[in-house]
Structure 1
Amino acid sequence: MDVSVRDRLHRRLVDELTAGGALRSTEWRAAAEAVPRHEFLRGGFFRRVPGEGSRVAWRPVEENDCEWLAGCYTDESLVTQIADSIRPEDVRGEILREPTSSSTLPSLVLRMLEEARIEPGMSVLEIGTGTGYSTALLCTRLGDGSVTSVEYDQEVAARAHRALATFGAHPALVCGDGLRGHPGNAPYDRIISTCGVRAVPAEWVRQTRPGGQLLVPLAGWLGAGELVRLTVQEDGTAAGPVLAGGVHFMLARPQLAPPLGLLPDLSGGEERCASVGGDVLDDWATRFVVQFAVPGAQQLRLSTDGRDERVLIDVENESWAALHEVDGRWTVRQGGPVALWDAVEAGLGRWHAEGAPGLERATVRVTPESQSITWRATTTPAPPAP
């Protein structure tokens, strides 16, 4: 490896992240300069193969490929594992399976570390060690003894452990279900999740000291995710703002959507005119809001009797809603114990009653029993003095 080329690529990436606003503080810039990303991508990564249609193919980029080093120092997410166990060295040609682990784009990693408001002396729990790159950044800033990181996948955890040891970092590394946190080193001042979650686990809140914060990519099965920064209260609840901007993380594996299986009979159910059309789900912010109203729903499109239908299905409670449009008017049929589209319309109704504000005005509140979204009022400037 040409060290001068590597160093030039590394410096260029750090400069780009600074210019783009992901790096805002001298402390995190120094950490980014100290941690070589390529050391956490040994063994290669996968690149998406350009193409059309829903089937996504991936091809391996191994260390001996000329594009490997440049890819390591490009601001993009790099898939490192497919189908729970397949690594780049295992594949020749292309593969059509789903990614299960990746190295998040550096700008988002560092944005999250900046947004977490971490200071020296704080103890941090990281959920999702992944390649170990973000763990190394935390160790560089805080010291190994202040960092605990939990990884679900044994093979991924082992690779991260080797990469961190090579770098010279020795935090507390745990292989287990990150949704349970790690009570052994609690309480923490900060918890940062590097995987998406549908619901913030109560264990995370309990393991954070009052006044401490959680930075979490909150997502759902409708595909919209946002970072939220929650402050833990004395009563065991947590609340805080949505840091709007849209993020996409792989969901924690225990929270992945269940298979749809055999679809229910969508020709039955009760039919009515819909006050909100199915096309509202084309909008990212709307989907994020809807996920609070129907957290178990998945979306698909079907062609039925020559017409296109938008369908929501909640596998767990065996409920569904199917919508179609004729001459600009939407009709919905619903079946099962929960009227899914009624819940969608009610949730969106509360949002629209507030004027459908942007997600930057949203506050998420988490209790041991529930998770909800509300809207902060805009600040009206005081009238000028007479």
Structure 2
Amino acid sequence: MTSESEIETVAADLRRQLARRLDKDGRLRSPEWRAAVEAVSRHVFVPRFYRESDAPGVTTWEPVTPEIVGQEDWLRLVYGDETWVTQFDGRDVDWADPKPISNAAPTSSSTMPGLVVRMLEDLDVREGLNVLEIGTGTGYSTALLCHRLGDERVTSIETDENVARRAREALTRSGYTPRLLVGDGRAGHLDGAPYDRLIATCGFRNIPSAWLEQVLPGGVILTTLRGWMRSLGLVKLIVTGDSASGWFSEDDPSFMIARQQAAPESLGMVPGTYDGTKRKATYGPEVFSTTGSAFMAQLAVPDARFFCHAVDGGPNSTFVLDGVTGSFAVLAPVDSGWQVRQGGPRRLWDTVESAVATWEEYGSPNTATFGVTVSRDEQVVWLGNPNGPHWPLPS
């Protein structure tokens, strides 16, 4: 298999297989989006990529190209329901001589088709609607939108100039010519407004005010809210004038955070051995590793991050640092469980424990029980209903 026509013949069959799998899984629910999945050649948008190695030790990523793994295996991987990484640490890969990569953070990828399609289905589009996409990436999801709605109805913004250039080339090669822009997606694109739908394929700490201004009343904003510790989840908001509200989904897609909202490199000042005041902790650091409580911790202390480190040669302690206020909490194991030492303007662990306790009072519900209300003045996540317990999103 060497010619373009031979590759396309195999790819067309793989696209049909992919569509059948997504249909069976309940991700693909409409004939229009199924037609788009069967028509758009994902291999044009992901000609080469990295996959995570299963070797033990430090996380390592292996390059995948037709030359390295063979064309048949390359195509089979491309049309699998997997996310493939295409960039690390904001720097382009040297594809002339690709090497395994370790100790690097993915910064661009082609999201798994199942999630892409699920989000597009949730966007509730129909003919004649205008869509603004935040995060062009490889351009694959942009192509699906173009196939469904027409090029003139799709505007897409990418923050990375080189990523945007490759997406434009792939879209042009595939016969699609949407409006493509390079810039900060938080600003939207006023000249193309108003939009009926806005979809973001990267995570945001809050909802940018420009989105509220540029999406029509009754329109939909579909995005992932996330923090510096973890993803909060996918939220679908309905715009009503100067505000919007909606619910989280049960799923927890963990998109990369928008580069303009990435955490600062410095975690903040590490406290001294005797800094702060001590008490027995009700909850230990398992809060951060359990889905529901980790969601609550992220809501409770949105400017914090945590890490584990041995103190004075003893067992690991968990440090929780708020780089904005300078507050800290240090969890250390003791015979009876955990002891916490806190200092700074905010009692971080008090705040975390209060949020987790509230969640447990309400029966430890999943994320679909939480909603979001945003306006120009305030953005909050609430539990159960807008008058229930609530936590502000970071400004």
Q: 1:55-101, CA deviations, whole angstroms, 9 ceiling, x for partnerless residues?
A: 32222212433132221111100001122122251543312222211
Q: Which residue of 1 aligns with 2:370?
A: 362
Q: Does 1:314 align with 2:322?
A: yes
Q: Which residue of 1 aligns with 2:183?
A: 176
CA distance in 2, matches of 1:275, 1:203: 41
Count of residues in Structure 1 that have an aligned counterpart in Structure 2: 374
Q: Does 1:89 align with 2:92?
A: no
Q: Which residue of 1 aligns with 2:392?
A: none
Aligned partners of 2:268 and 2:323 also within 8 Å: no
Q: Does 1:242 align with 2:245?
A: no
CA distance in 2, matches of 1:37, 1:64: 18
Aligned partners of 2:269 and 2:326 also within 8 Å: no
Q: 1:35-70, CA deviations, whole angstroms, 9 ceiling, x for partnerless residues?
A: 11011113x1112222334x3222221243313222
CA distance in 2, matches of 1:318, 1:137: 45
Q: Which residue of 1 aligns with 2:159?
A: 152
DSSP 3-state at the match of 1:196:
strand
1:366, distance to aligned residue in structure 2 (A): 1.8
Q: Which residue of 2 aligns with 1:274?
A: 281
Under a length normalisation based on structure 1, what TM-score does the superposition of the two structures give? 0.92
CA distance in 2, matches of 1:87, 1:264: 35
Q: Which residue of 2 aligns with 1:29?
A: 34
DSSP 3-state at the match of 1:86:
coil
Aligned partners of 2:224 and 2:255 also within 8 Å: yes
Which residue among 332, 354, 358 is the counterpart of 1:350? 358
Aligned partners of 1:62 and 1:88 also within 8 Å: no
Structure 1 gap ranges (5+): 378-386
Q: Does 1:335 align with 2:352?
A: no
DSSP 3-state at the match of 2:237:
strand
Structure 2 gap ranges (5+): 386-395
Aligned partners of 2:52 and 2:59 also within 8 Å: yes
Which residue identity is paired with 2:238? T
1:266, distance to aligned residue in structure 2 (A): 4.1
Q: Does 1:201 align with 2:195?
A: no
CA distance in 2, matches of 1:246, 1:218: 10
DSSP 3-state at the match of 1:288:
helix
Which residue identity is paired with 2:30? S
Aligned partners of 1:116 and 1:192 also within 8 Å: yes
1:350, distance to aligned residue in structure 2 (A): 3.1
Q: Which residue of 1 aligns with 2:9?
A: 4
1:10, distance to aligned residue in structure 2 (A): 1.7
Aligned partners of 2:268 and 2:326 also within 8 Å: no
Q: Does 1:118 align with 2:125?
A: yes
Q: Which residue of 1 aligns with 2:390?
A: none
Q: Does 1:13 align with 2:13?
A: no
Q: Which residue of 2 aligns with 1:381?
A: none
CA distance in 1, matches of 2:326, 2:151: 47
Q: 1:332-371, CA deviations, whole angstroms, 9 ceiling, x for partnerless residues?
A: 1112222211221232233233232221211122222433
Which residue among 63, 76, 101 is the counterpart of 1:60? 63
Cα–Cα, structure 1 residues 88 and 286, in superposed 2: closer, same or farther, change >3 Å? farther
Which residue among 214, 233, 255 is the counterpart of 2:261? 255
Aligned partners of 1:10 and 1:73 also within 8 Å: yes
Q: Which residue of 2 aligns with 1:45?
A: 49
Aligned partners of 2:84 and 2:110 also within 8 Å: yes
Aligned partners of 2:268 and 2:321 also within 8 Å: no
Aligned partners of 1:213 and 1:230 also within 8 Å: yes
Q: Which residue of 2 aligns with 1:297?
A: 304
Which residue identity is paired with 1:289? M
DSSP 3-state at the match of 1:194:
strand
Aligned partners of 2:287 and 2:297 also within 8 Å: no
Q: 1:178-209, CA deviations, whole angstroms, 9 ceiling, x for partnerless residues?
A: 11111111121111000011212121122111
Cα–Cα, structure 1 residues 272 and 369, in superposed 2: closer, same or farther, change >3 Å? farther
